[in-house]
Structure 1
Amino acid sequence: MPPLSTAATPPPALRQIGAWIAGLRRADIPEPVATVVSGCIADTLGVALAGARASAGRLVAADARDTYADGPATLLAGGRLCPEGAAFANVAAAHALDFDDNCYAGFVHGSAVVVPAALAAVEAAGGSGSDLLTAVTAGTEAQYVLADAVGNGVYHAGWWTTALFGAVGAAAAAAKAGGLTEAATADALAFALCGTGGLRACFGTDAKPLLAAQAAAGGVRATRLAARGLEVPHGVIEDPRGFARLMAAGAFDGQVPATLGRYWRLLDPGIDTKAYPVCLSAHAALDAVRDLMAEERLSEADIATVRCRVPPVVAANLTYDRPVTPAEARFSLPFAVACAMRYGTLGLEHLDEAVLADPSLGAAMGRVAMAADPGWNDDPERARRAPEGAEVTVVTLRGDSFTRFCAMPRGSAARPLAAAEHAAKFRACAVLAADRVPGPAEADRLYGRLRSLDRLPTLDGLLTP
């Protein structure tokens, strides 16, 4: 990060963020950042196409059709709604499978909230592919810089930061798409932040994607009201009755927002693109087991026990030792490791009630133990390098013991997926939406279009293969 300003009294943070959003142009976005953003858009929409068929995606789409007016914005489950309704339904779809990306600026699932909100707002404004890329950049950076200024204490305290900061990201993206002024953008951000929230207690249930959807709808609504003239004090973060004191225990660095446009969180800490459709907290242990089994030529039948030493945040997230539903399985380390042992990987096909009911998988889960290391974060370098890492020890029936430490899993910003792996993930997700994407060839054409957004003068037919 560049040196921070030494100005004694910076303007309210939301005014600074609003000014940056209003002034952002496509030409201001460095090409490495634009490449990351186009990848986020493609990955999110691919996951959302699959998630629209999941239980949470179907539930929210049905509710959105009953609640919201028709409009210009695409509903991934079919049809069109007003921007708020489309954002509400499509964000639930994007997060329904927990296969969407993550950023360690706040432990936030940024793209799942921002991309659908931006898409709905840009469609309503009649914008281009370049406008969509710019709006997503504005929304993600806005929420990441706010999370960066607050620090991760708010997440560890039990707030779910995707919902908490997602309302700001959605408002920022919609404000950029709608061309709001600096002041109106700050009003939208302030109103969104005043009403935001979300508890990590929702993990392992359909409430999790619904809270993300609610955050997006709230952000889009805040922007619509600000465009109509709603005025909100811009100092709602710094106010003694405001966000920093009430939700972040007073933690807030007011100089961080000034780094917008000079320091890009989309590049550092970067975006973690999930290789597996479960909570990111399980990925490092899953990778460690897969690697050990491959290197030592072990099969499931060779393994007596698997012991996983993890940071406290991983144990706090992965609370289901014996999951009985796919939603619970996404937050279960024994399930993730057992899939690695039994199937060699973990894919969407394994998040199935019939798979969970298999006694042999249950037996494999019974051989997996997780222990939180209370001293994990005592070493600041390890806490930074391996925030959701794992040290895994595999003990065989013959008595051999093999240990592997995994700081960051495949797909993380430190170990990014190859271009072919990104495309393969999109294809696997998109073809699940058979009514919209008939087959692999159509999925590949759609992926190519999404990765070439800058060339599209309009979003008409964007999601039509």
Structure 2
Amino acid sequence: MTTPPGTPDHSTPAVRRIGDWVAGLRRADIPKPVAEVALSCIVDTLGVALAGAGSEAGVLAADVARDTYAPGPAPLLAGGRLGMEGAAFANAAAAHALDFDDNSYAGFVHGSAVVVPAALAATGMAGGTGSDLLTSVVAGAEAQYALAEAVGNGVYHAGWWTTALFGTVGAAAVAAKALGLDGRSAADAVAFALCGTGGLRACFGTGAKPLLAAQAAANGVRAARLAARGLTVPHGVVEDPRGFARLVAENRFDPAALDSLGGRWRLLDPGIDTKLYPVCLSAHAAMDAVRDLMAERRLTAGDIAAVHCRVPPVVAANLTYDRPATAGEARFSLHFAVACVMLHGTLTLEHLSRTTLADPVLAALIGRIAMEADPAWNADADRARLAPEGAEVTVETVAGERITRFCPSARGTVARPLSAAEHAAKFKGCAAHAIGPAGAENLHLRLQGLELETDLPSLLHLCTMPAIHDPDEKPS
């Protein structure tokens, strides 16, 4: 029987289809709106990575990278230069250390924290330009999101940490693109990356989480380097009875999700959520609801007797610390996040400190906050789609009033995007932790013209200037 023209060939293994698409992608193929989102991802990730380079996890990763990996020309944000694997490892840890990096609902993946550092290292090592960097970021992001979508979000709900799981695919695709691998070799890289991938959500709230992102970045880059040197891997690693779909995804795999590579861009749909607050995105909707209610009713923290937050199960599963003792635990605490908003009107990097955690006033407010997971949240298909990490918040005032607010999507999500000014302010505020306000301003200006850059080492040099401090201490 003859296959009609234009019919997708699902007999071709998934990783070969991804490899062929990555190898064939050209800058001219990327629509302007997609390129704009990719640039935003690069800028935002570099900003949060600069702030995260001085964190405990960022410093640890850089120290281990210097001890482990070969020297080379790729800069570490925390100082020094290594080969592409070492730089990808250290800089990915920095990018995810503060949990301030972006997210996509295509697989519940923090895609940019892995893809952007891998692209910076691989493109720089290959002597690429700013335009090459952007193209490789698009290749890696779309590859990992498409595969994540093909196996569905059930992987995340089962306990796999999808950033580590799929990030290595994105990093392999990035490096394959930067190194100019053909479709077969790019598929070998993705296949090898998949064969060794993994990550558990049990690590949330600890330094292991950003280090798993770092490991994904380094493993993906290494997979591409091995493929470039002739490593061959069976391309059926997704579909094989002993492979990825059966072992990790309980046989959930829709090959049609790969048909739209280069047609439907995941960077636009479902898009990228950019964080306004440096904590797990699961807390943001409740924070916004409380913040808005307090502003509208002109309430102070002292006016509020109790806050009850009804949330989807995934939010409760992510935010497991009701009395956080460390900054890492605070990033996964709805109670801390809402109390911070009540007391300070917002939550910034400066609030993730020992001083804030020890504040007895904040501790008292935490005691007024309750979180309830609603098992029926996803029974309504529209609500599950429109408010995957939403919140229904009821505030009880000391005067006896009860006010309820439903927030389906937080500020910074695709439904409520940040303005250009908010994006710029976030970048400059984060980058200033490492390179000072003037350095942050200069770097932001250069990044706006990224595609005109022909000297990436010169641009990246701006990211590794004066001393980086520990963001767990309030800046002077």
TM-score > 0.5 by shorter chain = yes
Where does 1:106-117 land on structure 2 (aligned, <5 Å)? 106-117=107-118
Match of 1:389 in 2: 390
Match of 1:457 in 2: 454
Structure 2 contact 168–219 (Cα < 8 Å) conserved: yes
Match of 2:319 in 1: 318
- Farther off after superposition, 441-450 or 301-310: 441-450
CA distance in 1, matches of 2:68, 2:346: 40
Match of 1:351 in 2: 352
Question: After the TM superposition, which segments of 4 or more aligned residues of structure 1 sit over 2 Å from their partners?
Answer: 5-10
Match of 1:97 in 2: 98
Where does 1:170-319 land on structure 2 (aligned, <5 Å)? 170-319=171-320
SS at match of 1:126: coil
How far the C-alpha of 1:154 sits from its partner, in A, is 0.3
Match of 1:140 in 2: 141
| 1:278-318 Cα deviation digits (max 9, x unpaired) | 00000000000000000011000000000000000000000
Task: In structure 2, give the amino acid aligned to 1:402.
Answer: I
Q: 2:442 aligns with which of 442, 445, 457?
A: 445
- Structure 2 residue runs of 5 or longer lacking an equivalent are 1-5, 463-476
SS at match of 2:258: helix
CA distance in 2, matches of 1:35, 1:216: 23
SS at match of 2:189: helix
| 1:55-107 Cα deviation digits (max 9, x unpaired) | 00000100000111110111101111000000000000000000000000000
Structure 2 contact 10–256 (Cα < 8 Å) conserved: no
CA distance in 2, matches of 1:74, 1:101: 22
CA distance in 2, matches of 1:428, 1:220: 30
Q: Report the TM-score when normalising by structure 1.
A: 0.97
CA distance in 2, matches of 1:276, 1:390: 16
SS at match of 2:16: helix
CA distance in 2, matches of 1:264, 1:59: 35
Where does 1:24-103 land on structure 2 (aligned, <5 Å)? 24-103=25-104
SS at match of 1:445: helix
How many residue pairs match? The answer is 457
CA distance in 2, matches of 1:292, 1:462: 43
How far the C-alpha of 1:453 sits from its partner, in A, is 1.0
Structure 1 contact 48–91 (Cα < 8 Å) conserved: yes
What do you get for the CA RMSD once the two structures are aligned? Answer: 0.9
Task: In structure 2, give the amino acid aligned to 1:122.
Answer: T
| 1:210-266 Cα deviation digits (max 9, x unpaired) | 000011111001001000000001110000110000000100001211210000000
CA distance in 2, matches of 1:357, 1:315: 24
Task: In structure 2, give the amino acid aligned to 1:460.
Answer: P
SS at match of 1:412: coil
CA distance in 2, matches of 1:93, 1:9: 38
SS at match of 2:72: coil
CA distance in 2, matches of 1:34, 1:112: 17
Match of 2:466 in 1: none
Structure 2 contact 23–182 (Cα < 8 Å) conserved: yes
| 1:405-429 Cα deviation digits (max 9, x unpaired) | 1111000011110000000001110
How far the C-alpha of 1:448 sits from its partner, in A, is 1.9
CA distance in 2, matches of 1:152, 1:28: 28
CA distance in 2, matches of 1:8, 1:340: 52
SS at match of 2:456: coil
How far the C-alpha of 1:7 sits from its partner, in A, is 4.5
SS at match of 1:462: helix
State percent identity of aligned pairs.
Answer: 72
How far the C-alpha of 1:6 sits from its partner, in A, is 5.3
Q: Report the TM-score when normalising by structure 2.
A: 0.95
CA distance in 2, matches of 1:401, 1:463: 52
Structure 1 contact 87–116 (Cα < 8 Å) conserved: yes
Task: In structure 1, give the amino acid aligned to 2:96.
Answer: H
Structure 1 contact 271–413 (Cα < 8 Å) conserved: yes
How far the C-alpha of 1:447 sits from its partner, in A, is 1.0
Structure 1 contact 103–270 (Cα < 8 Å) conserved: yes
1:360 matched to 2:357? The reply is: no
Change (3 A) 1:265 1:7: closer
SS at match of 1:417: coil
Structure 1 contact 10–255 (Cα < 8 Å) conserved: no
Match of 1:401 in 2: 402
How far the C-alpha of 1:443 sits from its partner, in A, is 1.0
SS at match of 2:459: coil
CA distance in 2, matches of 1:431, 1:115: 20
Task: In structure 2, give the amino acid aligned to 1:341.
Answer: M
